[in-house]
Chains A and B, each alone.
Chain A
Amino acid sequence: MNIRKLIKSLLFIFVVVSLGVLIYKEFSPKNESNAIDVTATKVDTVAVSGESVPVPESQPLRKPSTKQKEKTPSALTEVKTQSSKVIAYYFHGTFRCSTCRTIEQYSLDAIQTYFAKELGNGGLEFRPVNIEEPENKHFIQDYQLVTRSLVLSLMSDGKETKWKNLPDVWKLVRDKDKFFQYVKDEVDKLLKET
C-alpha cells in the first residue's frame, strides 16, 4: 500500500512539474527573449558556416560542416559580388524524429556530393532552420510548411524570386539513390536560373 502511495505521489509530482515546465516555456517572456538571443547567434553561425543548429542531434552534420568552414572566407567575399544564389533550407522542429534526421542528412550529403563547387563559391547554401523558434515562425507561412521540409529558394539581388518545396523527400527517403538524384535535379534546375 505504501508503494502505491509513493508511486502515486511521484507520478503526481511528475505531472505537476511537466505542466509547470510547459506553461513556463510557453509564457515566460524572459525565456522567449533568451531564445531570440540564442537563435540570433545561431542564425549568424549558420549564415557563415552553413552549420546546423549546435545541438547534440546535429552531430552527424559536424564533420561535413567543418569542411565547409574552411571554405567560408572565400564564400563570404563571393556572396557580395554574386548577384544571385540558391539557398536550400531544411526546416525542422525542436523534436527530431529519425526519418527527419535521415532526410536532413541525405539532403546535406546530396548537396555536398554534387555541388561542392557551388557551395564553395557561395552560389549555393544549405541552412537548417528550427521553425519552432519565434523568429523563424514566418517561414511556416512563407513556404506553406505542414511538416519537416526541404525548400529551395532562389535569391537574386538579395530578394527571393522563386522558391520550391520538395515534398517528395518523404516518398524517396527509403531510396537513397533516388533521393540524391531528386535533390540533384531540383537544385540543378534552380541553379540554372541564377
Chain B
Amino acid sequence: MELFLLASAVWLGILTSVSPCPLATNIAAVSFISRRITQRNTVFLSGILYTLGRSLTYIVLGVLIVKTLVDVPILSDFLQRYVNKILGVVLILVGMVLLDLLRIPLPIPSVSENVAKKLAEKGTFGSLPLGMLFALAFCPVSAALFFGGLIPIAVKAQSGIGLPLIYGIGTGLPVLLFAFLIAAGTGYINNLYYRITRIEFYTKKATGIIFILVGVYYALAYIFELI
C-alpha cells in the first residue's frame, strides 16, 4: 500500500513534467541546469538542487493543506492567477543577468561582492530557487495533477511531507535526465573538438536568451493575454 502511494506520487510527478503546458519552463530549466555544460558534476548537482527546490515548494504546499485548513480551491486559484503573471517578468530579469545586461545591486558591496561573485561563478545554487519558483507556476494540467491527483492521496495518508517530496522528485526527473544527457553528450564531443571556455560562453548566452524568450512568452500569455 505504502509502495503503491509512493509509485502514484512519482508517476503523477512525471506526468506533470512531461505535460505540454509547463514545457516553456522546462526548456528554461534544462538550459539553466546544463549551462555549465562541460562540467558533468556541476550539471548533476545543479539538477539535484533544482529537483529539491521543486520538492520544497510542494512540501510547503502539502504541509499547508494537510496540516492546516487552507482552502485548496482558493490556494490553487491564487497560484494559477498570480505566479504565472509575475514569472514572466522574473524570467526576463534573470535572463538579463545571465547575459550581463544587468548587475544585481548588492546591499553591502564590500563584504558580499566576493561571495556573490563566487556564487555567480558556480551558478549552481541558483537552481534551488529556480526549482522553487517553477514549481509554483501552476497551469491547468499541473494543477489537476497536483491539487486534484496528489493532494487527495496525501490528505488521506496524512502525508504532508513524504508524498509531496516524492512528487517533486518525479516532476524534476525528466528535466534532470535531459540536462544530464545533454551535458554528457556535449562533454564527450567537447573533449574531441572544442575548447571548453568557448562552449560555456555560448551556453550561458543561450540560457540567457531562452530565459528572456520564455519570460516574454509568459508575459504575453498571462499579462497581456494575447496568446
A11 CA / B100 CA spacing, docked (Å): 13
A4 at the B interface (CB under 8 A): yes
Per DSSP, chain B at the interface is helix
A152 at the B interface (CB under 8 A): no
- Decide yes or no: A144 and B225 within 8 Å by CB, A22-B85, A97-B140 being known contacts: no
Per DSSP, chain A at the interface is helix
A94 CA / B20 CA spacing, docked (Å): 18
A182 CA / B72 CA spacing, docked (Å): 26
Contact B224 A21 (CB under 8 A): yes
A25 CA / B85 CA spacing, docked (Å): 11
Q: Inter-chain contact count A-B, CB under 8 Å? A: 87
Which of B20, B73, B101, B151 interacts with A98 by CB under 8 Å?
A: B20
Q: How many residues of A contact B (CB 8 A)?
A: 29
**B residues apposed to A, CB below 8 Å:** 19-21, 71-74, 76-77, 80-81, 84-86, 88-89, 92-93, 96, 101-102, 139-141, 143-145, 147-148, 151, 212, 216, 219, 221-225
**A residues apposed to B, CB below 8 Å:** 4, 7-8, 11, 14-15, 18-19, 21-22, 25, 93-95, 97-100, 131-132, 140-141, 144-148, 167, 170
Q: A15-B89, A18-B88, A141-B74 are in contact. List 19 more A-B contacts (CB 8 A).
A: A8-B101, A11-B96, A15-B93, A18-B223, A18-B224, A97-B21, A98-B20, A99-B19, A99-B20, A99-B21, A99-B140, A100-B141, A140-B73, A145-B76, A146-B72, A146-B76, A147-B80, A147-B143, A167-B144
